[in-house]
């Protein structure tokens, strides 16, 4: 805060530059009006150095408002948000920021389409499980979260009084490998690292397959 000159009138303290301007224009300053020092010296209260402006213009001139650079979550366009506004929105649970209403509405359309997919998910899962699809493959095909798919599968299995443990091998809900690939892994002389890269699974999965901790039935 600048150390502005102050004066006392009838026992009250006032900012000198504001009183000088009010005396010159013969009226009181409005709530949105502020006095700007043209040469930047807050102690120079010469009338020629004083200018009436608005708070918004004054803040822009002095760059008092700190702004944060972020990117639109839809079109990736750069946005400049006030720091206070950004922090308030973030603290109140806002996770996504958009540069315009168009981007916001386009994002809502995508979200609504995903919700429609979830509504039809029970039917899709029943269809794909009966055709021998695993939960992993269903998630990949429909570009969905694996956890969401497994939750729907569990719901479907509970309704139909089935147990997850009854599904072995390729029919397992969490299966990422086929029987043919399992046999190839067991007969291969490659390292665990090479096999994990080739079949896109964890090294621990490869170790379990080779040591028959999983896929015991073949």
pLDDT digits (tens, 9 = 90+) for 50-77: 999 888 787 776 665 677 888 888 888 8
Report yes or no: 152 and 138 within 8 Å, Cβ to Cβ: no
Annotated domain spans of the chain? 6-62, 67-112, 120-171, 179-210
Q: What's the rounded Cα separation, in Å, for the pair 175 and 208?
A: 13
∠ at Cα 38 (33, 44), nearest 5°? Answer: 100
pLDDT digits (tens, 9 = 90+) for 120-163: 666 666 666 666 677 777 777 777 777 777 777 777 666 554 44
Q: What's the rounded Cα separation, in Å, for the pair 73 and 96?
A: 6
Q: What is the pTM of this model?
A: 0.31
Buried b (16+ CB within 10 A) or exposed e, 13-27: eeeebbbbbbeeeee
The least confident of 80-84, 165-169, 185-189 is: 165-169
What beta strand segments (E) does 27-66 contain? 33-37, 50-54
Place of tokens 């080779």: 210
């Amino acid at each position: 805060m600048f150390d502005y000159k102050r004066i006392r009138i009838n026992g009250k303290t006032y900012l000198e530059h504001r009183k000088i301007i009010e005396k010159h224009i013969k009226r009181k300053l409005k709530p949105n009006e502020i006095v700007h020092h043209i040469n930047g010296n807050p102690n120079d209260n010469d009338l020629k150095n004083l200018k009436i402006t608005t708070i918004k213009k004054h803040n822009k001139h002095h760059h008092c408002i700190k702004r944060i650079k972020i990117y639109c979550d839809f079109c990736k366009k750069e946005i400049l948000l006030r720091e206070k506004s950004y922090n308030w929105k973030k603290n109140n649970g806002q996770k996504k920021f958009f540069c315009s209403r168009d981007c916001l509405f386009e994002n809502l359309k995508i979200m609504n389409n995903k919700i429609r997919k979830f509504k039809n998910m029970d039917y899709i899962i029943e269809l794909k499980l009966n055709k021998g699809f695993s939960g992993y493959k269903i998630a990949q095909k429909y570009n969905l979260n694996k956890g969401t798919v497994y939750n729907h599968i569990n719901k479907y299995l509970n309704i139909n009084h089935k147990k997850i443990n009854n599904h072995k091998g390729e029919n397992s809900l969490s299966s990422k490998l086929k029987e043919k690939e399992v046999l190839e892994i067991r007969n291969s002389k490659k390292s665990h690292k090479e096999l994990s890269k080739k079949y896109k699974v964890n090294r621990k999965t490869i170790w379990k397959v080779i040591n028959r901790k999983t896929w015991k039935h073949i």
